[in-house]
Structure 1
Amino acid sequence: MIRLCEKKDEESIYQIINDAATAYQGIIPEDRYHEPYMSKDKLVQEIEDGVIFWGFEDQGELCGVMGIQDKGEVALIRHAYIRTAQRQGGIGSKLLTHITKHTDKPILIGTWEAASWAISFYVKNGFELVRADEKKSLLQKYWDVPERQIETSVVLASPGFSEGI
């Protein structure tokens, strides 16, 4: 079952993000990976900054989370993670399908360039990689990430997205 996450879910969200993010170890640039991947304070800050988390629950336990953040003319998919033990079961696709129905705005997704599995997932679900020359301006405009992360990331967009927004 997909449901809106609540304050009481913060610990589960934190655990899911940090469990799933272990997939990045040895893949993304070493200077960008740390444990925990996302601190509890950073999670709270993300929620305060408008990231709304949706969760996939099975037998009373959150198995995956995905956030959406309204940024005016676009919406961002943020922090999409599935527990390691429950990957490859369609949870991510179900969350993505559900979340994309909650906005009529173009959707952007940022992820690590080296996370080929994440890029493949979004492409399989209809998103398109934006051109490298657009990537930097989009990351600077809609995300608050360091320059090093901009250098090592990609942006995917919903079909028909035009950077001329």
Structure 2
Amino acid sequence: MSEHVIPRPSGSVDVRPCDPADTDALLEVINRAAVIYEGAIPADCWHVPYMSREALTEEIQRGVRFFGLRAGDALVAIMGMQDVRNARLIRHAYVLPAYQGQGLGSILLRHCCQAQPPRPMLVGTWSAAHWAIAFYMRNGFAPVPAGCVLPLLRCYWDIPARQAHSSTVLAQPALTVEQVSGLIKGGGPAG
């Protein structure tokens, strides 16, 4: 696929659900954009491809729903969301490198945050992915208190311990320790 920078989207942009026919394109976006992690995340957590077809299939079977933005017929930005218990998780958010910095990730994030009924939004990312953390913070997410990261990761994600200890969690709205405790106990955020 030849990449050319598309103009920054203005007005309404069509966010579309991805379907099984998009599997190859999803993998291309994820694996091309994930190259930025090489050298930033623990070496034993980096692998090529970053996400295999089997891993993507497992994620979809677990309830991750993917949405995408296209330039012409080509998928150039994707984001997954997954409702787990009483929260919505943002999963696997990637924009092809040539299309980054144009607001596509923010458009997808706004779409995914329109949960009905409203529920807390959580995103887990590598602690070393400072660019991703900054992106989520620019879009209204706040880091959860440090002591809440591992309990949230254990409760809402199914990831290896090594990845959990190298990750952080951000939330929208911002959550206090007490609110995280209420969320984990199965209610909404208390307070």
Bin for the TM-score computed over the shorter chain: over 0.9
Instruction: Look up the match of 1:115.
Output: 129
Instruction: Look up the match of 1:11.
Output: 24
Secondary structure of 2:41 counterpart: coil
Shift of 1:140: 0.4
Instruction: Look up the match of 1:102.
Output: 115
Q: Percent identity?
A: 44
Secondary structure of 1:50 counterpart: coil
Instruction: Look up the match of 2:167.
Output: 153
Q: Confirm or deny that 1:141 pairs with 2:161.
A: no
Q: Confirm or deny that 1:25 pairs with 2:75.
A: no
* TM-score computed with the length of structure 2 as normaliser: 0.84
Alignment of 1:56-71 (within 5 A): 56-71=69-84
- Hey, what's the Cα distance between the residues in 1 that align with 2:163 and 2:65? 22
Decide which structure has the larger Cα Rg and report it.
2
Instruction: Look up the match of 1:81.
Output: 94
Secondary structure of 2:26 counterpart: helix
- Hey, what's the Cα distance between the residues in 2 that align with 1:92 and 1:2? 11
Letter in 1 for 2:112: I
Asked if the contact 2:77–2:96 (Cα under 8 Å) also holds between the matched residues in 1, the reply is yes
Correspondence for 1:124 among 138, 141, 164? 138
Secondary structure of 1:108 counterpart: strand
Per-residue CA deviations over 1:91-149 (Å, capped at 9, x if unaligned) read 00000011111341101000000000000000000000011110000000110001111
Secondary structure of 1:97 counterpart: helix
Q: Confirm or deny that 1:55 pairs with 2:103.
A: no
Letter in 2 for 1:139: L
- Hey, what's the Cα distance between the residues in 2 that align with 1:150 and 1:45? 19
Shift of 1:90: 0.6
Secondary structure of 1:41 counterpart: helix
Q: Considering only aligned residues, what root-mean-square deviation do their CA atoms show, in Å? A: 0.9
In structure 1, stretches of 5+ residues that fail to align are none
Q: Confirm or deny that 1:35 pairs with 2:48.
A: yes
- Hey, what's the Cα distance between the residues in 2 that align with 1:108 and 1:147? 19
Structure 1 residues 128 and 160, CA gap change in structure 2 (3 angstroms) = closer
Larger mean CA deviation between 67-76 and 153-162 belongs to 153-162
Per-residue CA deviations over 1:13-68 (Å, capped at 9, x if unaligned) read 01100000000011111111110000000000000000000001121111110000
Letter in 2 for 1:57: R
Runs of 4+ that moved beyond 6 A: none
* TM-score computed with the length of structure 1 as normaliser: 0.97
